[in-house]
Structure 1
Amino acid sequence: MQPVEMAQAAVMAALCAATAIIAVVVPFAGGLALLGTVPMGLLAYRDRLRVLIAATVAAATIAFLIAGMGGFMTVVNCAYIGGLTGVIKRHRRGLPTVIAASVVAGALFGAVAVLALTVLARLRHLIFDAITANVQGVAAAMDQVPLPEFHRAADDLTGFFGMLLRHWQLLILAQSIVSIVIVSLLGWWALSRVLDRLRGVPDVHKLELPADSGPVAPVPVRLNQVRFRYPQTGHDALGPLSLEVQAGEHVAVTGANGSGKTTLMLLLAGRAPTAGTVERPGSVGLGALGGTAVVMQHPESQVLGTRVADDVVWGLPAGTTTDVDRLLEEVGLTGFAERDTGGLSGGELQRLAVAAALAREPALLIADEVTSMVDPQGRDVLLRVLSGLAGSAGRHRTSLVHITHYNDEVGSADRIIDLSGSPDNTAMVETAEVPAAPANVAAGHSGPPVLELSGVGHEYGSRTPWAKTALRDISFTVEEGDGLLIHGGNGSGKSTLAWIIAGLTTPTSGTCLLGGRPADEQVGAVALSFQAARLQLMRSHVGLEVASAAGFSPHDQARVYSALAAVGLDAALAGRRIDQLSGGQMRRLVLAGLLARAPRALILDEPLAGLDATSREGLLRLLEDLRRDTGLTVVVISHDFAGLGELCPRTLHLRNGVLVPAPAGAA
């Protein structure tokens, strides 16, 4: 199997095993076993049969070790129902196929059971004796009723059961067919609806593995008048475009949000264009040694190992020698090899993703906004690594396509491609110095206090050998209408602090009060916008998302339009699919749903990541107007400071979980 298939099988097996174990161990929770059919159905619907088999073996083993034969059989049943439904849906068949397949499956299962009971005669006699005792007990109870009809019914019952036992092979075969047909129909009825909804969701940013078996040689690559149009859209996302990337060349790709930069990444990584041609000397070799490696903007989607060292070598062929420590040192993660990836910050995950890409010694590395989640020091490290890849002097001798919004990141490139087609530099983002903190960090806006933190500390894995302190003795006050910037490097505790302020995490020490009451008792009163806006959007269409996040009916079009207008989005977007929005529009949509709930305060975690200069300016102007006109309290957590002076007059600096004075040289 391919590494991506192994990852899919592992994740779905874990989900199925977990539901099976809960269904067996927890009293009266047997109905939850149906949930286990969903991950297995998704595997059968989207992947090859071998992926479903691998997931079934893994899940069944885990469930057997924890919950015994009950867990094992529950996983097998989930795999059968999910696999049957997924395969039939993938081949666009219907109910008659389900019935025919379930009859065949029932007959096979029944034949196996008959054969087993024929061989295991003592087990068969034990089972039949137990059933006979139960039937005779029922007949005896019926004989106690002083009515002749009950006596005759008791005699008929024992006679009928005796006849069934004489033909037990047919009984077991019929029972197996009927039960499996019923279970299959119930699974089809429930699961097919889920898969029907998934069929209408276009997987717009899917990296496909082309079916080519030639030698791996992704560069030089030449694009001739290529166009690309995503499913269910009426316009091209890219093109017509012609360009060439030579071996060992460093190409910077710039452009506004929505200009087609990520689409170009997909084409270079092997996705077929809808028009035009892409020429290479060999296969793309996506993820293969000496092939093409891709590092995307959001590292959460591509970090798979539970340990840092495991993730670096994930998917490499057996026997490959990799100097993990050297690669980690190269990207600024010295000493992280044994760390748990679940405890890394967004910037640390991004550096890890770059190390894993370099472990493949790629001939072509595509870096899509890889510095957007990284602090200034981490950016400098990654830029030195990336700029040293290309050319004859580069240690890795890699062609680099670097997609970026930052003006200072294109200087080392051999060539710059601007997809926006603009002769000026309006889409590029200028970097800024770290803003200085005021002498008294508690003094700010003149309004009443909204947030009061006193001695807040937090420790992950408290009272375990894996305990890790994230925050220590954090104290400050945020007043109504205040604007506060919290700055710090990757891993300094910024996101942990955001979750505590939003009430989603209870601090292990100290207090976080919202309006005089603990914030964790008022979840929802403080709105939190996550780093990755797409992960916060749960509905299929814009209007549904706004209504769901704000808690009102999606049929209330006036409130939907008003919420969209409040963040500068056109009402016509209400009927559009979320996957058709740009990154800037997604961030505004998240804000529309959050602000429609009228929160006491708004926390924005890395709100400017991945936005071009125009989108950044528009979002900041929107937030400044909301803070000024409505008295909204805004807390911004960011390592990107350009343009934040008006929105956030106050700044706090975090380092290793502690508030510190402004760094030397801060503006």
Structure 2
Amino acid sequence: MAALCAAIAIIAVVVPFAAGLSLLGTVPMGLLAYRHRLRVLLAATIAGGLVAFLIAGMGGLMTVVNCAYIGGLTGIVKRRGRGTPTVFLCSLVAGALFGIVIVAALGVLSRLRNLIFDSMTANITGAAAVLERVPGFAPAAERLTRDFATALYYWPFLFFGMGVLSITFVSLVGWWALSRVMKRLVDVPDVHKLEVTPDTAPVAPVPLRLTDVCFRYPNSDHDALGPVSLEVRPGEHLAVTGANGSGKTTLMLVLSGREATSGTVERPGAVGLGKLGGTAVVMQHPESQVLGSRVADDVVWGLPPGTDTDVEKLLGEVGLDGLAERDTGGLSGGELQRLAVAAALAREPSLLIADEVTSMVDQDGREDLMAVLSGLTRRHRTALVHITHYNDEADAADRTVALVGNGASSDNTEMVQTADAPPASGVAETPRGKPVLELVGVGHEYGSGTPWAKAALSGIDLTVHEGDGLLIHGLNGSGKSTLAWIMAGLALPTSGSCLLDGKPVSDQVGAVAISFQAARLQLMRSHVGHEIASAAGFSKRDRDRINAALGTVGLDPALADRRIDQLSGGQMRRVVLAGLLARSPRALILDEPLAGLDAASQRGLLQLLVDLRRRERLTVVVISHDFAGLEELCPRTLHLRDGVLAAEPTTAGGMS
């Protein structure tokens, strides 16, 4: 949020006549003030202000400070349920303080005061000269000059009044504009936020017992979890499984300290979320937990001063030997997950909760990460609660609890089966259609021409035909996503060419649709119908086309009026597909389409894609680490190893 505010401030200062854009910078600051404590806003102001100062000077710094003031005032007033009278009174106080500071500064800095006086006098003299040229306005011009000289004589009162008026005016205008924006933004639920509960008891999260626990999110008419009864014992490895929407992530929130709606949660002491000896959480997307710029910094981030931490030992334990000085921005997904585990272990937690931490990791990385997690209960006497969809990961646990909607069962439900990577094949179903995508000698290098240049792809020759189903597999960092972006026209190859129907695909952006790994990040509108219409490029009032698009992906047309945040993970992926398919793309690229989906959701999505490929002759390219069930959708398989096509599946030994 601080970076977003700083970027807006820099644009407002650097770009001519763009000062009005600074009002947009109040939005991220307002959201911070509304949802977090004041010190979060102060930290964001300092961070954003320093960046803006280094790039745009004092103008950038002051713009960030102004955004923080207006956004902070609006957010805090909104959070406390107050209105315009409160803003007016607060702005008078802030204006008075600002006026006092200005008067004090000008009283000490006499040369600056004289410079400002001369500048203001010149402006008033010029204005008076213009008025004198207007018939009948000569007395007014003389009066203006005389009155300004009198006001300047009492300059402390003049500048104090100007400070109060300017701050009050800016505050009221900012409140009027920002409150209307926040009225829409604050309705976006932040339901999966981890909460630190105030508790003065000694930190002791386990043994943990849940008895008939239910949880209902605000403004919901049904329970997202429960009733659930389970026990977590010290040093135990417990696997939690269940279908999408069964309440696994909600259970994670309750275990990490969120207060249950009903039922009892018994612990011997405080939860201690993030504290030494307390509870640590490793989430599905590790980039949201990595804060340090160096690997070593991130391991100890947030620990109390004076904490003795053997960083090298922790990094070695999670398979990151020798990477303490590495920039966290250059780590792969699997390495980021390992780093998140190391940072959690630095707190010596009594309870570690891992929420689907392997869903975005390749199979070799998944096995390594599971070996680390499984060993925690033996080496650290840490209770591990691992939320997963995979059968082999659940089998590694001491005990498995399967959530089945509004309840828990000790019987396991159907799990996602793991499978070996299929062999590389150039054979497709017959008859093969005409060429759609043609890649000739495609290579791509990041940072080309700099000392940090890194080759991502090299010498890729590939033809994708109409109606083809192609699977691209490789380890994290092998170049799969880079290849997908080039095929979609979103990135230009450094060498070679990528053609769509004989023309550069980069000149036809949108003709090849791409679905990203995290479906939620691709959904930009508040409601399903609006999202589909926006993605496909037609009016949101065209219900017939919206209903047809929903029917294409097997969703009930009644979902058109549903909020995006009320959908399950599988439904979100289908809504993304509905919007993309409604544009009638020449080809469809799916980046990790099965990640985070339960077995039934995976099966339904795959069958849908198989039917579309056969019925509509849709060209489908799938990038995936999960292979079970893909045989019918993707008759062809390509393996990427270090940016080049390989004949055999990539293994751990082939990782760079």
Normalised to the residue count of structure 1, the TM-score between the two structures is: 0.93
CA distance in 1, matches of 2:387, 2:337: 15
1:325/1:506 CA distance change after superposition, 3 Å: farther
1:653/1:325 CA distance change after superposition, 3 Å: farther
Matched, 1:350 2:334: no
How much does 1:423 deviate? 8.4
CA distance in 2, matches of 1:450, 1:29: 44
How much does 1:335 deviate? 4.2
Q: Secondary structure of 2:597's match?
A: coil
How much does 1:593 deviate? 1.1
Which residue number corresponds to residue 365 of structure 1? 352
The AA in structure 2 aligned to 1:491 is G
CA distance in 2, matches of 1:434, 1:584: 24
Structure 2 residue corresponding to 1:432, chosen from 410, 419, 424 = 419
Matched, 1:47 2:36: yes
Which residue number corresponds to residue 558 of structure 1? 544
Q: Secondary structure of 2:649's match?
A: coil
The AA in structure 1 aligned to 2:382 is T
Structure 2 residue corresponding to 1:87, chosen from 76, 80, 98 = 76
Q: Which moved more, 1:212-221 or 1:133-142?
A: 133-142
Which residue number corresponds to residue 398 of structure 1? 382
Q: Secondary structure of 1:71's match?
A: helix
Matched, 1:22 2:20: no
How much does 1:326 deviate? 3.8
How much does 1:51 deviate? 2.0
Which residue number corresponds to residue 59 of structure 2? 70
1:92-111 equivalences under 5 Å are 92-111=81-100
How much does 1:618 deviate? 0.5
How much does 1:550 deviate? 1.4
Can you list the C-alpha shifts for 1:415-438, whole angstroms capped at 9, x where unaligned?
111112678765211111211112
Matched, 1:35 2:24: yes
How much does 1:174 deviate? 2.4
Structure 2 residue corresponding to 1:173, chosen from 155, 160, 164 = 160
Assess if the C-alpha contact under 8 Å between 2:209 and 2:266 holds in 1: yes
How much does 1:136 deviate? 3.0
Q: Which moved more, 1:19-28 or 1:401-410?
A: 19-28
1:591/1:335 CA distance change after superposition, 3 Å: farther
1:154-303 equivalences under 5 Å are 154-303=141-290
Structure 2 residue corresponding to 1:494, chosen from 469, 477, 480 = 480
CA distance in 2, matches of 1:314, 1:121: 46
Assess if the C-alpha contact under 8 Å between 2:10 and 2:55 holds in 1: yes
1:113/1:419 CA distance change after superposition, 3 Å: same
Report the count of equivalent residues: 649
Matched, 1:656 2:646: no
Matched, 1:413 2:413: no
1:150/1:416 CA distance change after superposition, 3 Å: closer
1:118/1:561 CA distance change after superposition, 3 Å: same
Which residue number corresponds to residue 447 of structure 2? 461
Which residue number corresponds to residue 125 of structure 1? 114
CA distance in 2, matches of 1:345, 1:517: 33
Which residue number corresponds to residue 573 of structure 1? 559
CA distance in 1, matches of 2:558, 2:265: 36
1:462-611 equivalences under 5 Å are 462-611=448-597
| Root mean square deviation of aligned Cα | 2.2
Assess if the C-alpha contact under 8 Å between 1:495 and 1:605 holds in 2: yes
CA distance in 2, matches of 1:449, 1:309: 49
Can you list the C-alpha shifts for 1:271-290, whole angstroms capped at 9, x where unaligned?
11100111111111112222
How much does 1:441 deviate? 6.9
Assess if the C-alpha contact under 8 Å between 1:481 and 1:628 holds in 2: yes
Assess if the C-alpha contact under 8 Å between 2:402 and 2:413 holds in 1: no
The AA in structure 2 aligned to 1:290 is G
Q: Which moved more, 1:649-658 or 1:442-451?
A: 442-451
CA distance in 2, matches of 1:321, 1:346: 28
Which residue number corresponds to residue 614 of structure 1? 600
Structure 1 residue corresponding to 2:309, chosen from 296, 316, 322 = 322
Q: Which moved more, 1:590-599 or 1:286-295?
A: 286-295
How much does 1:166 deviate? 3.1
Assess if the C-alpha contact under 8 Å between 1:441 and 1:476 holds in 2: no
Unaligned ranges ≥5, structure 1: 1-11
How much does 1:291 deviate? 1.4
Normalised to the residue count of structure 2, the TM-score between the two structures is: 0.94
Can you list the C-alpha shifts for 1:538-596, whole angstroms capped at 9, x where unaligned?
22221221112112211111111111111111112112222221111111111111111
CA distance in 1, matches of 2:651, 2:179: 60
CA distance in 1, matches of 2:452, 2:429: 37
Q: Secondary structure of 1:389's match?
A: helix
Matched, 1:339 2:326: yes
How much does 1:295 deviate? 1.5
- Percent identity of paired positions between Structure 1 and Structure 2: 73
